[in-house]
């Protein structure tokens, strides 16, 4: 299989504390790969190592076929990174920021202006194009920062919590753009605090816990790890009265639905499927001595 990202035995320690503790994973070309984990789990450190911003203590990383340790310049030519902080110049206008980045990326003067105008429209910033960035709202600054990452379509796009600060509409617009890029062959590696975002976008998800991968798989595979569907009976106040596991078959659902009647209980019956929230809570609350299944 053709891999855009290959990580083997990756380790990073700050002081005596291991932040990244032996990561092994690969990401295929054109795949959307999400890295989840609680604060301090090692997500940003991992993405900084993969993008050559931080040197690993041990292990190896190859991006688009190039080693981050021996060929960092070649890696940088093939990637784009949007970090958690907006990397824009407050004194310039929005359009000037994007045009400047396009020129730095090697586009001609005319091509830079055209690409900047396209991106301002794509990220719903046309009306603010002539305004100084210092007058932008937080959400507008975030959209501008993202626009800079798309000046030249990279082989591998790293997005570190890309939709933080965006409203629901802007977040979903960005999801559509990420899907379009992946469909065209760009590999997307993202960290996010929004489990719904990972569920909607990612082909596969890795959950970090204490610097290690505690779970790895497709969203469906991870959800299957924490159980199947459950029929829940809740009282008039919404409190859970009874939960009956089912295998999803008609016979199993009928048996589950009959149970409240037999006990004379009254309430509202719903079918609950496992979510990424269940997965996240299950694998990030393990004791340090426990091993993920």
Residues 134-149 have pLDDT tens digits of: 999 877 888 888 888 8
Q: Which residue spans of the chain are classified as CATH 3.40.50.300?
A: 3-223
pTM of the model: 0.77
Tell me how far apart the alpha carbons of residues 98 and 238 are, in angstroms, rounded to a whole number: 50
* CATH (residue range 3-223): 3.40.50.300
Residues 68-115 have pLDDT tens digits of: 999 999 999 899 888 766 678 899 999 999 999 999 888 999 999 999
Per-residue confidence at 130, pLDDT binned at 50, 70, 90?
very high
Tell me how far apart the alpha carbons of residues 246 and 225 are, in angstroms, rounded to a whole number: 15
Count of CA atoms in the C-beta half-sphere (13 A) of 130:
1
Q: Which of 279, 276, 293, 291 is nearest to 226 (CA)?
A: 279
């Amino acid at each position: 299989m053709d891999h855009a990202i290959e990580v083997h035995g990756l380790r990073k320690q700050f002081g005596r504390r291991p932040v990244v503790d032996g990561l092994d994973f690969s990401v295929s070309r054109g795949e959307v790969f999400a890295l989840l984990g609680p604060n301090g789990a090692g997500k940003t450190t991992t993405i900084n190592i993969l993008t050559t911003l931080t040197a690993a203590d041990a292990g190896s990383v190859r991006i688009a076929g190039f080693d981050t340790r021996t060929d960092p310049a070649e890696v940088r030519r093939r990637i784009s990174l949007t970090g958690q902080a907006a990397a824009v110049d407050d004194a310039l206008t929005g359009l000037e920021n994007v045009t400047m980045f396009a020129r730095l990326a090697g586009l001609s003067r005319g091509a830079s202006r055209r690409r900047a105008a396209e991106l301002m429209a794509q990220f719903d910033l046309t009306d603010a194009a002539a305004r100084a960035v210092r007058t932008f709202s937080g959400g507008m600054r975030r959209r501008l920062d993202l626009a800079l990452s798309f000046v030249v379509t990279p082989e591998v796009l790293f997005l570190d919590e890309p939709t933080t600060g965006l409203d629901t509409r802007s977040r979903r617009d960005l999801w559509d753009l990420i899907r379009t890029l992946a469909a065209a062959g760009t590999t997307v590696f993202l960290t996010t605090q929004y489990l719904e975002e990972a569920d909607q976008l990612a082909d596969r998800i890795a959950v970090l816990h204490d610097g290690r991968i505690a779970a790895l798989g497709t969203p469906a595979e991870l959800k299957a790890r924490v159980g199947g569907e459950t029929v829940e009976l809740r009282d008039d106040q919404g409190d859970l009265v009874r939960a009956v596991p089912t295998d999803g078959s008609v016979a199993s659902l009928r048996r589950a639905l009959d149970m409240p009647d037999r006990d004379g209980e009254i309430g509202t019956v719903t079918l609950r499927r496992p979510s990424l929230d269940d997965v996240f809570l299950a694998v990030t609350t393990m004791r340090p001595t426990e091993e993920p299944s």
